[in-house]
Structure 1
Amino acid sequence: MVNQTLLTMKQPELGKLIQQHRLSKGMTQEELVERCNINVRTIQRIEAGEVTPRAFTVKTIMEVLQIQMPTKDPEMPRSAVGSIFSTVDRRQLWWTGIAGVIYFLVSSYEVFWNIVLMADAGMQQPEYFTLLKAVVLLSYAAFAYGFYLIGQRTNNKVLQFGVVFLILVNAGIIGADIYSGKVVGAEDMWVGVFEVVAFGVSLVPFSIGLVQSKRSFGQHYQIVGVLGLITAVMFVTVIFTLLGTLTWAVFDIACIYLLFRQAQGVEMPKQEMESGPFSMR
């Protein structure tokens, strides 16, 4: 479509091309500004051909608009080719990965107490248990947001829905415990069964969304998504809940890995780079 790179283009052709790609994605200048982390006036002047931006600014805009450059270009690192995440996006993904680590550590302790309290109704829960539950919920929401961002950037509606559904179900379960001041399922076995099944069901759309992300990021997402579906089945059947708790831990670790991997800037699969709507030939 274009036989020269944006880095060597001059104004006003550069501004016109950027505007063309922005409009083709249905993106406003404000949305582009938010994702590129630059001034709105700067975008306006670039598109108007009034200023020639720095190479770093051009590269950032290219990443957001998915404008591909030839990999032989010495000024363009391969890790940036095919990237659909801006620098700001990758920074957010990094922090959501950190939130995932916090969530995993805190939730592991919470699960231990949940099991103890449900196994022995006479056991006294620690005074800080409510605070522990709140930290688990907040860290999980921050962790899951990373995948909502991934779904948003790849237009993966299933993944976005899965994240929201998963957070709402977890909020309901943890919220009930916080409101009552105890693990609800510890006093009523059927409530405990309902919570386990509900959690298993909540994993399904999220896991399917991960599987669908294979088209954008490769088999890593498919493998993790399948593991999530296996975990969901184990929780839904109830009798395999203990085994499901183990696979759930592996699933969480794998999800944390995906976020950190994405935060580092990973190339899209080769076939998508060659056939993408913004490929430069």
Structure 2
Amino acid sequence: MNSIGTKIFETRKSRGLTQEELAELSKVNLRTIQRIENNENEPRGKTIDLICNALEIDSTYFTSKAEQKTSESISSFIINAVFLILLNLLLMSIIGFLTLDSNANINSRIGALLLSFFIPLFIVLFSQKMNPLERLLKFGSGFLAYIVLLIIVQGLKDGFILGIRTGLYLCLILSIGTLYYGKALQKLMK
């Protein structure tokens, strides 16, 4: 990626100007031009305008790239947020279906227990550089929300009893614990 100084240097050369000539045309100090072209300084608005006027280019030539980068970072943030929300909903749905469904039997509850351990373990394996708390907030927020939703929908007493009886709380706590302590578990397995 080209910096502003590099772009100014390339444009000045293509116009056949020396640094001294550019400094004289733009009414900017020669040493400032040298520092900008050597990427020692980042020019401010008025300096960019003076240089752009002397080089006969639009100042948005330099700023449009920065705005585009900001736009890309916002869009990637939104895409990541939507993906994480959908992933959390999917994980919640799988565990909830296997434990709370009226047709859930011991086999589906054991499957839910195994998935509650192995899915978060794979998440830990693929997010090694992530802080445990960050991993828990990104991938475990759905599990935490499920506990709260169950208590709100069923009531405190009934929600607690239903979560214990079906094994849902055990699955959710196992998932949350694996997400947070996954690196320690991985070290124990080695």
User: For this structure pair, what is the TM-score category when the shorter chain's length is used for normalisation?
Assistant: under 0.3
Q: Under a length normalisation based on structure 2, what TM-score does the superposition of the two structures give?
A: 0.28
Greater Cα radius of gyration, structure 1 or 2: 2
Where is the helix percentage greater, Structure 1 or Structure 2?
A: 2
Q: Under a length normalisation based on structure 1, what TM-score does the superposition of the two structures give?
A: 0.21
